[in-house]
Amino acid sequence: MNPLHAPFDPVTLATPFFVLAVVLEVVLARLGKAKGAYETRDTLTSLSLGLGSTVAGLMTGGVIFAATIWVWNHRLFDIPMTAWWAWLVIFLLEDFTYYWFHRLSHERRFWWASHVNHHSSQHYNLSTALRQTWTGGVNGSWLLWLPLAFLGFPPAMIAIQKGVSLVYQFWIHTEAIGRLPTPLEFIFNTPSHHRVHHARNPRYLDRNYAGILIVWDRMFGTFEPEDATEPPRYGLVHNLGDFNILRAAFHEWRGIGRDLLRAKSWRERAGYLFGPPGWSPDGSGETSDAIRTAWRARITPPAAAAATGPKPPVR
Amino acid sequence: MGLVVQFLGSAAAIALLVGLVAWTRRGRGDAAGAGLDGAGRFAEEFPGLTVQELWIAAGGASALAHAGDRALIGWRLGDGVVTRSVPFSRLRIAHRGPGQVELNLDEPGLPRLRFVADEGPWPPGGWTARAPGATTAAT
């Protein structure tokens, strides 16, 4: 196998399946056979953002591929594409990389600005999965995958595994599937786990970053199960005011630019750029942590809060 | 050439899928017939604020509320609802035109908001809680 040329692209192969699956979900939802909600303009926005993302990816794909090849030419080991163990290892390492990429994309505004459009729908259906970034190629997040090439995984292998991850994550964007058997829910990212990820309820904010394996969230303390008593409310903390795809793709970048122009110090500039989304210099901003803390204070009875609060020192 | 064909094919697939969604929604309306329940929605979105006065548009398309020094604004967008909490004073800088009020919240995520409003005072003075359909405002 040519290490620089993937023999197939999982995403291209899966595209007909994407279309058929959306058709099936729309029809089953309409017939009342499955849970799901589609809105015409929302669907148009999602699919248009998906198409635009493909075009945008063409503009930066060459640079990313060239950088990957350059790093691979300085690799530590020679990892064969034909070895089964190599596919197992890259599956785990790529998914681990994706977890941190995705966490970074939510917890730091510079990368959130690229990822936010994926979360900008108030609906959660298979078309939402295609609401992909237009600016992911220019924010440098692809650098996170270069260590795989440095280790010695061929660029073609990395490309295939990234494609497999993207295809896997398509089917979990649905309300039509409830909970899967417990062992699957324990190991894999599922529709239930990913509904939590797309929810704007304070309890669910910035949780379940997994790509394929939910175990990373369990290991790193970002796992939150779907609570049957608290249905997810989808979208952003501050939802967009229209269906304009340019606004969806670029509004956070505009917000960053506006804040940088108003910033009074380098500390403020750094905070607006690399702080968590919602950061403000005086600490009053609506970050996910602040929203969650306020929510916990509301739902915790005063007596319980006192019992779990700071204890006086023992003398 | 291949890329152009792929692009055109994708655009056609999008048109078909969006057409299918539009077809399955015939006669169902945008928000499944539900108006914007201003009080309930604001309580859910802004649990720390107490709504003192509420102004709901005819048909429930939008709502304004007065909560302390905050103005709560909500409007329907497709099947969803968009809300914002802004200082009440922000309402005073709205542009008043014939039959409408235009409000720019200076937020990249929002277009200019347009409220169809009668010739009464703005911000609506002496607001009182009203049932949906009882007033004349809409976005």
Q: Which residues of B touch A244 (CB under 8 A)?
A: 111
User: Measured over all CA atoms, what is the biggest interatomic distance in chain A, rounded to whole angstroms?
Assistant: 70
DSSP single-letter state for residue A311:
P
Q: What are the structure tokens assigned to A11, written together? A: 């995403």
Put simply, the answer to whether A39 touches B3 (Cβ < 8 Å) is no
Question: Which residue numbers of A have CB closer than 8 Å to B's CBs?
Answer: 19, 22-23, 26-27, 29-30, 37-44, 47-48, 51, 54-55, 58, 122-123, 127, 235-236, 238-244, 247, 250-252, 254-255, 258, 294, 298
Q: How far apart are CA A45 and CA A247, in angstroms?
A: 11
DSSP single-letter state for residue A188:
B
Q: Which residues of B touch A235 (CB under 8 A)?
A: 80
Among B3, B6, B17, B105, the strongest candidate for a mutation testing the A interface, having the largest count of A CBs within 10 A, is B17
| pLDDT confidence band for A310 (50 / 70 / 90) | low
| Average pLDDT over chain A, rounded to an integer | 95
Whole-number CA gyration radius for chain A? 21
ipTM of the complex: 0.88
Q: How far apart are CA A162 and CA B81, in angstroms?
A: 35
Please provide the DSSP assignment of A239-278 as one string.
Answer: --SS--HHHHHHHHHHHHHHHHHH--SHHHHHHHHHS-TT
pLDDT score for A150: 98
pLDDT over threshold 60, residue B130: no
Minimal-distance CA residue of chain A relative to B82: A239
pLDDT over threshold 70, residue B135: no
pLDDT score for B39: 78
pLDDT over threshold 80, residue B139: no
pLDDT over threshold 90, residue A93: yes
| pLDDT confidence band for B30 (50 / 70 / 90) | low
Q: What would the pLDDT profile of B86-104 be if each residue is shown by its tens digit?
A: 998 888 778 877 777 888 8
Q: How far apart are CA A19 and CA A119, in angstroms?
A: 20
Put simply, the answer to whether B30 touches A55 (Cβ < 8 Å) is no
pLDDT score for B137: 43
Burial of B130 from C-beta contacts in 10 A (0-12 / 13-18 / 19+)? middle
pLDDT score for B133: 38
The mean pLDDT value for B22-50 works out to 77
> In angstroms, what separates the C-alpha of A40 from chain B's closest C-alpha?
5
The mean pLDDT value for A153-157 works out to 97
Q: Which residues of A touch B102 (CB under 8 A)?
A: none
Return the sign of the alpha-carbon dihedral for residues B102, B105, B107, B113: negative
| pLDDT confidence band for B131 (50 / 70 / 90) | very low
pLDDT over threshold 90, residue B55: no
